[in-house]
Structure 1
Amino acid sequence: MDRLVSYVSAIHALSSPVAIVRQTQTAESWLDQGFEVRKETHTYCFDNGVIVRKTVEQDAFPSEAACAECWISYEVLGDSAAATAIVPARQSFASTCRESFWLSYHRA
């Protein structure tokens, strides 16, 4: 079994047993109740053939929170043997703080 944290580590330019060989990015934005919402999708291809999609959606709603709410998800794409061996195959977070905590915890 391979761990998703290895791929997320590489995406964040941290040490990892896998390396990114190609990356694509798309972005879109729209208004929701008068506030801009921005969605970025990054697709990462790794040296072992695995493809991981990272999606980040964030609004421009004013917030006094130390760690503003946003939606971050990582999803392993495809059904190759390497892709199906990754656990979990999908992980979501409601803020960058939660993402950072998960990454720190699982890298330890």
Structure 2
Amino acid sequence: MLAKYISQIVNQEDSYQILSTQNFVDHLTEITRATCTWLFPDGVILKCTEEIETEHYDNDAQCPECWITWEIVESNNKPISPCRKEFFNLCQQSFWLKMQLANNI
């Protein structure tokens, strides 16, 4: 279950190893992009890419628009579903995680 892996990262649990982190600012399109890849003890590799428009970022917004993509790079033959999930803000991601984890208790 993809939500289990995302939750471990979001909650900063110590059950994974950071493989790579990249940050990129495109001044032409005014987008900041951060990509991070993690390795879990079971051999699963997960990547997250977050993009935010730097010019239109509103600190007062409760849940500012951004683009978050989580994808399984290596499943290590584990049945992980979905293999890719996209969100348009952190509130949507939080709600999805809450619902997914509640359904699998």
> TM-score scaled by structure 2?
0.83
Question: How many residues are treated as equivalent by the alignment?
Answer: 100
**Cα separation, 2, equivalents of 1:62 and 1:43:** 25
In the alignment, the residues of structure 2 paired with residue 6 and residue 81 of structure 1 have an alpha-carbon distance, to the nearest angstrom, of 16
With the length of structure 1 as denominator, give the TM-score of the two structures. 0.81
Instruction: Name which of 37, 43, 46 aligns with 1:43.
Output: 37
Output one character per residue of 1:46-83: Cα deviation in whole Å (capped at 9) or x when no partner.
0000000011001121446421110001000136312x
Match of 1:100 in 2: 94
Q: CA deviation at 1:21?
A: 2.9
Per-residue CA deviation, residues 77-104 of structure 1 (Å, 9 max, x unaligned), is 136312xx10000000000110111111
User: What runs of 5+ residues in structure 2 fail to find an aligned partner?
Assistant: none
Pick the aligned partner of 1:67 from 56, 59, 63.
Answer: 63
> What amino acid is aligned across from residue 8 of structure 1 in structure 2?
I
Query: Structure 1 residues 46, 62: CA separation in 2 closer, same or farther (over 3 Å shift)?
Result: closer
Structure 1, unpaired ranges of 5+? none
RMSD of equivalent CA atoms: 2.1
Answering whether residue 7 of structure 2 is matched by residue 9 of structure 1, we say yes
In the aligned structure 2, how far is the partner of 1:14 from the partner of 1:104? 16
Residue identity over aligned pairs, in percent, reads 30
